[in-house]
Chain A
Amino acid sequence: MADATPSARETLIITKRLRDRPDDSWTLDTFLATGGFDGLRKALTMTGEAIGQEQVKASGLRGRGGAGFPTATKWSFLPKGSYPRYLVVNADEGEPSTFKDRMLVERDPFQLLEGIAIAAFSIECNLAFVYLRGEFAQGYDRFVAAVDEARARGFLGRNLLGSGFDLDIVVHRGAGAYICGEETGLLESLEGERGMPRIRPPFPAVEGLYAKPTVVNNVETLSTLPHIILMGGEEYGKLGVGRSTGSRIFSLSGHVNRPGNYEVELGITFRDLIYSPELGGGIPGDRKIKFIIPGGASSQWLTGSDEHLDAPLDMDAVSQFGVMLGSGAVMVFDETTNPALVAWRLAKFFAHESCGKCTPCREGTGWLEKVLYRLAHGLGRPEDLDMLLDVGDNISPGLNAPFSQTTICPLGPSAVSAVVSLNKYFRDEVLEGTARAEVHA
């Protein structure tokens, strides 16, 4: 790979309005003046089936929340003829270092609302629930105001835009639990229960909210829908690479000169994202990258090697390195970082956020955290790392990506990723630390 600085740029589709109109992108006037509701108007002239199984399917849109499941396929799981059915919007963005949905909710709430209306129309749902992360203070105010205004102006409620279609939206604020971003934990919480994941089957598409067929979609996924309708699914599908079509927002953070959200066409490389002057802008002090955590805290890690930096932002291609694009977060750590300390901090997060429902996660995450604390603070034993791997194996048998799990939901296995990566890339460094600890002891 050449040393030339890459020069990738943003592809502004769902962030266009908020980039162009930073001072008033969230207002209805601006929204309407910049093509707002055109997608919905067009959608309302189609059949629900055509929107889902023609347009969205052709677009290749995959869920932007983390799992990357094809949206049209998810919708098709709803059992025929079973009503009511619900659309639930997962706006409980809690994956560490992911902050794209927050931006979309705060700065373009009507776009989300339009996406919700299109999805609801397509799946024949008359009541949608938006589960907003509790910490989104401004996002909550703006989204609730947007819903009220839309309702007052006929973009929501009975017979919206004169189409004969009825839709209302209930906005619910979370109370700060990461687990409520897991879709069944979210549904439990929405029903007023303790936020704990459900055993599947039944899947939400069959028995979701209040035991009714339910689609759970992410904010970014829904915000994309108006553009798919306007561009045409096939046209949108031409963007991107392979089965990773369109654009995505990446939340870039850590040791980069220009941290922030960047909407880019899928298929550019990590190097493009991190080093392009209009994107990450490189590493402070031109230090070397030690490792990268893509996809949020749940993913395994990449290193600063050319092989990894030149991997494309392609949901499928990255899996060869055992990682995922997940929620679109990219955390960059330079050569000054102690990887064991990072692994411990991540484990602490998962131990804190484990809901406690199932044994391997409840007990295992806490155990990992305690051992990693010792390893990160010079108190490790030489056998600790191998023991951690085996404890991890009891949570996520095989230590593979994508996960297998002895747990109910992926939270437990997520906590294992850091241990696997620590062993894969920094085993010698960790063992050296334990040897020093033995000398001190």
Chain B
Amino acid sequence: MSQTPPEAPSTVTVTIDGHAVQAKPGDLLIKVAEDNGVYIPRFCWHERMKPVGMCRMCLVSIEGARGLPPACTTPVTDGMVVDTQGPAVKKVQDGVLEFLLINHPLDCPVCDRGGECPLQDQTLAFGPGESRFVEEKRHFEKPVPISSLVLLDRERCIQCGRCTRFADEIAGDPLIDFGERGGRMQVITYPDEPFTSYFSGNTVQICPVGALTSKPYRFKARPWDLSSVETSCTACAVGCRGALQSSSNRLVRLLGVDSEPVNQGWLCDKGRYGFEYVHATERVRNPMVRKQGELIEASWPEALDAAADGLRRALDLHGADAVAVLGGARGTNEDAYAWARFAKGVLRTDNVDCQLGDGLPADLVLGLPRATIVDCDRAAAVVVLAPDLKEELPVLFLRLRRAASELGVPLVDVAARDNGLTSYATTVVRHTPGEEGTIARKLANALSGTVTGDKPIDDAAAAARDRSGPIVVVLGRPSLAASADGLVAAAGELLARPNVRFLSALRRGNVHGALDLGLAPGFLPGRVTLDAGRAWFGDAWGGVPAGRGLDTRGILETARSGGLHALVLLGADPVADFPDRTLAREGVAGAGFTVAVGAFLTESARHADVFLPVQLWGEKLGTNTNLEGRVQRLGPKVAPEGTSMPDWRIAAELAARFDDDFDLEAVEEVQDEIARLSAAHAGVDARLIVRARDGVVLPLSEHRDELVLTPARIPITDASWEPIIPGSIADEGLTSTRLTDVLEGTGQGATSTVKPATEPADVGDEHAAEAEATEAVSAAETVAASAPSVHVWAPPGEGHTAPARDAYALRLVAARKLYDKGDIVVRSPSLASLASDPVLLLNPSDRDRIGVQDGGRVRATTARGSLTLTVQGDRGTPAGIAFMPFTQSGTGAADLIDVSNPVTDLRVESVS
């Protein structure tokens, strides 16, 4: 038995196949070897999971060690001498591969994995030429669906346990496991419990054979036909990196790319399979103009003219205050910027809001000290004061789950009811919606060392005090049935404590980019207020709105009362997303001239006088900003549907009809203009965006150290089952002519050939990369020196108190589920069936008091309206609280919410 040496050296020397290499003591041999160019074959080992040493493919010879230890479970020690290729090792590799293949069906020609299969590849590289097995192979019924998205072929399975370990270790959904044993060992689900994990698609990606296939991709393409681009997922605001793949101009697959600061390789199933909506048959493919009451297909010039005319008429007759723009959180940063410039610089209206009353006030989100996702891994504590992250920001949930369960970060779950993180929380604090400020004050006091007498809160503070690092507050809108006032009050209380940083939990794909770029009342691009930026943008744009405008609620209320004469729906569907559906319906109906800029004829868009179809994610180039303020590239992989245009170009085209030439011809030009004008984006120009491997966290000046410039990009090969390194995917036709010029330094001279991003001569040269980063930072400093300063939020003076709930009522919590009935889910055939009808969840004691059984029907009545609903008892919902998922379409919580009330109380009575 070896004892731990008294003093561990910081590096050790290991000799691998005759070459001495340096490594950190304790690092696994398989990884050390790989980092030094020696690939040891493996099946079960995955860098993001604990080693298990099951497949025995990575056995190596180590001097002095008994037998052949697995490289995946062996930590390196000083002086270790390893042989990975000698005859003994080779014999074992041959043997293990032969064993793996004896019962494998070898149906490669019809297997999804064929062509990108680790078993094929490693057999070729490390295995025997032929098999000596002449017996009958084992047989299983196949394929077996283990969830609605994933199918299992037990004959192809090599029992590496990657999927079962992922489900347990990473996702926390141990719903698949091994059953039987020996040669009959197989992956199973439990009786009547399918693998209903939000993360099931990851198992398909990391499966080293074709045992797990996904319903959306199955038989859709052959790997050698795939074309890939690296991109970010925009299904929510985490911005997971992915490799988007197409075949025959159809999107067929999104693979997770292993970006350490963002998603560590994982995707949620909604993000992974939601690309299907891009090809939905309901897409509006050409512009439409309303004629004789009907929306009729029209040409782009006709439609753009009609839109410009309608807007101009409203401006001329009623002024800029009678014009509003709603939305913009689903587009790119470039879309948001161009639309901010059009709305605020051309139309001169400040009635602009990218949030649909379902988020937090823009001045709060833009003005708080920010945390990054990585900060959560090393925080003194993470306080979650947000909706259920597993439902709304699933991959952030994975990160926090890992931080709490693996990294020992104290996690404080402050919520009205149990959620995905509750079982991993160090401390659980329950409250009634509206009381967030009171709870936060207690927590803030406890963090300052005061004993509050509230044990969970004191315990949480004590746990945090023992650790260094910031306290990260994940702040979002936990319930759409309560106003954001409680959260504003809570943020104010917590902000008063030192070393508190905030991570926004707003969910919509690019809501943070839209906010940063001015799609909010009172703001201009760069996180600057209208007043602060008035002169700067007045100069750049030729003018800005006279005064602060209305938010979505104000816009809808004005529209309802007939005061709004033109409305642009920028990918927004207030009827589906605004918490108060009655107001949204009445507002949209009363809005006067309406332009819908979108992809689908939503209930709101049906009111449009002009419909301008846009390109969607996967069809266009640009950038996205995730919830930590990280700007990342989005790549196009398929030609746009119909004649659709990117939103930013529509804004430029409309501006031209107001005699304002934006002079923006390519996405890179928009990016350069943003870098020049936006204080927050200073230095983040097209060149830096294309080179920054993990994107750029804004502002660059504060996150200089995190910037990694991309080395050479090589085509993605068949290594998708391994973590895909960011920047390793070739950008096939990704960049426009304009950018090629930028990179080649040919200036304005247009060339007709579109080339893939070329590798500048300095690629791989650290000094050059360093110089480039320094250059970007100094460009940022130049802009910052003259640009307006970034907004800093100051808490409101007075506190906030929620109205009391009367003893007969229940307080409603309404929040989204991952599989809601939004555009992505409803229009992606593989996901559509996963969205369920809303059920009212009550504490069993409340359910019993009302006198219903699970599945019974009740009438729920609020000041706004009344619905008949199905009831389910739920111990995770405290007494006095009622939970209802906020589903965008169909009757639901939005029919019960009146946004003029700060909270929503409902009475529930049995109707059965």
8 nearest CB pairs, A to B: A394-B95, A356-B185, A354-B182, A363-B99, A366-B183, A370-B135, A199-B53, A356-B181
Residues of B within 8 A of A357 (CB): 54
| Nearest CB in chain B to that of A370: its residue | B135
Q: Is residue A364 contacting chain B, with contact meaning CB distance below 8 A?
A: yes
What is the CB-to-nearest-CB distance from B119 to chain A, in angstroms, rounded to a whole number? 12
Q: Are B55 and A356 in contact (CB under 8 A)?
A: no
Residues of B within 8 A of A358 (CB): 53-56
Which one of A354, A356, A365, A394 contacts B92 once the chains associate, using CB atoms below 8 Å?
A394
Instruction: With A394-B98, A404-B67 as known contacts, state yes or no: A363 contacts B183, CB within 8 Å.
Output: yes
Residues of B within 8 A of A355 (CB): 181-182, 185
Q: A355-B181, A360-B95, A366-B138 are in contact. List 7 more A-B contacts (CB 8 A).
A: A356-B159, A358-B55, A359-B99, A360-B56, A360-B96, A361-B182, A395-B95
The docked-state distance in angstroms from the alpha carbon of A356 to that of B52 is: 13
> Would you list 22 pairs from A and B whose C-beta atoms are within 8 A, ordered by A residue?
A77-B1, A177-B181, A199-B51, A199-B53, A199-B73, A206-B1, A355-B185, A356-B178, A359-B56, A359-B96, A360-B96, A361-B182, A362-B99, A362-B159, A362-B182, A367-B99, A370-B135, A391-B132, A393-B95, A394-B91, A394-B92, A394-B99
Residues of B within 8 A of A404 (CB): 66-67
Residues of A within 8 A of B159 (CB): 356, 359, 362
Q: Are A407 and B56 in contact (CB under 8 A)?
A: yes
What is the CB-to-nearest-CB distance from B54 to chain A, in angstroms, rounded to a whole number? 5
Q: Is residue B68 contacting chain A, with contact meaning CB distance below 8 A?
A: yes
Q: Which of B57-108 contact A (CB under 8 A)?
A: 57, 59, 66-68, 70, 73, 88, 91-92, 94-96, 98-100, 102-103
Q: Is residue B169 contacting chain A, with contact meaning CB distance below 8 A?
A: no
Q: Is residue B177 contacting chain A, with contact meaning CB distance below 8 A?
A: yes
**Chain A contact residues, CB within 8 Å of chain B:** 77, 79, 177, 179, 194, 199, 203, 205-206, 351-367, 370-371, 387, 391, 393-395, 397, 404-408
Interface of B is mostly: loop
Q: Are B96 and A406 in contact (CB under 8 A)?
A: yes
Q: Are A406 and B56 in contact (CB under 8 A)?
A: yes
Most buried by B among A206, A354, A394: A394
The docked-state distance in angstroms from the alpha carbon of A378 to that of B57 is: 35
| Nearest CB in chain B to that of A352: its residue | B182
Residues of A within 8 A of B138 (CB): 366
What is the CB-to-nearest-CB distance from A306 to chain B, in angstroms, rounded to a whole number? 35
Q: Are B96 and A367 in contact (CB under 8 A)?
A: no
Q: Are B53 and A408 in contact (CB under 8 A)?
A: yes
Q: Are B135 and A371 in contact (CB under 8 A)?
A: yes
Residues of A within 8 A of B98 (CB): 394
Q: Are B183 and A354 in contact (CB under 8 A)?
A: yes
What is the CB-to-nearest-CB distance from A416 to chain B, in angstroms, rounded to a whole number? 12
Instruction: With A358-B55, A394-B98, A394-B99 as known contacts, state yes or no: A203 contacts B181, CB within 8 Å.
Output: no
| Nearest CB in chain A to that of B160: its residue | A359
Q: Are B102 and A406 in contact (CB under 8 A)?
A: no
Q: Are B135 and A367 in contact (CB under 8 A)?
A: yes
Residues of B within 8 A of A352 (CB): 182
Instruction: With A363-B99, A387-B132 as known contacts, state yes or no: A356 contacts B56, CB within 8 Å.
Output: no
Q: 1/0 per residue B619-636: CB within 8 Å of A?
A: 000000000000000000
Q: Is residue B190 contacting chain A, with contact meaning CB distance below 8 A?
A: no
What is the CB-to-nearest-CB distance from B72 to chain A, in angstroms, rounded to a whole number? 9
Q: Are A363 and B103 in contact (CB under 8 A)?
A: yes
The docked-state distance in angstroms from the alpha carbon of A364 to that of B132 is: 12
What is the CB-to-nearest-CB distance from A267 to chain B, in angstroms, rounded to a whole number? 30
Q: Are A406 and B182 in contact (CB under 8 A)?
A: no
Residues of A within 8 A of B67 (CB): 397, 404-406
Residues of B within 8 A of A371 (CB): 135
Q: Are A365 and B102 in contact (CB under 8 A)?
A: no
Q: Are A359 and B182 in contact (CB under 8 A)?
A: no
Residues of A within 8 A of B132 (CB): 387, 391
Q: Is residue B141 contacting chain A, with contact meaning CB distance below 8 A?
A: no
The docked-state distance in angstroms from the alpha carbon of A353 to that of B183 is: 10
Q: Are B1 and A362 in contact (CB under 8 A)?
A: no
Residues of A within 8 A of B184 (CB): 356
The docked-state distance in angstroms from the alpha carbon of A357 to that of B136 is: 22
Residues of B within 8 A of A363 (CB): 99-100, 102-103, 183
Q: Are B52 and A199 in contact (CB under 8 A)?
A: yes
Q: Are A194 and B178 in contact (CB under 8 A)?
A: yes
Q: Is residue B133 contacting chain A, with contact meaning CB distance below 8 A?
A: yes
Q: 1/0 per residue B467-480: CB within 8 Å of A?
A: 00000000000000
What is the CB-to-nearest-CB distance from B3 to chain A, in angstroms, rounded to a whole number? 8
| Nearest CB in chain A to that of B98: its residue | A394
What is the CB-to-nearest-CB distance from A181 to chain B, in angstroms, rounded to a whole number? 14
Q: Is residue B180 contacting chain A, with contact meaning CB distance below 8 A?
A: yes
| Nearest CB in chain A to that of B75: its residue | A201
The docked-state distance in angstroms from the alpha carbon of A363 to that of B131 is: 13
| Nearest CB in chain A to that of B133: its residue | A367
Which one of B57, B91, B103, B181 contacts A354 once the chains associate, using CB atoms below 8 Å?
B181
Q: Which of B18-71 contact A (CB under 8 A)?
A: 51-57, 59, 66-68, 70
The docked-state distance in angstroms from the alpha carbon of A311 to that of B100 is: 41
The docked-state distance in angstroms from the alpha carbon of A356 to that of B157 is: 12
Residues of B within 8 A of A393 (CB): 91, 95
What is the CB-to-nearest-CB distance from A233 to chain B, in angstroms, rounded to a whole number? 23
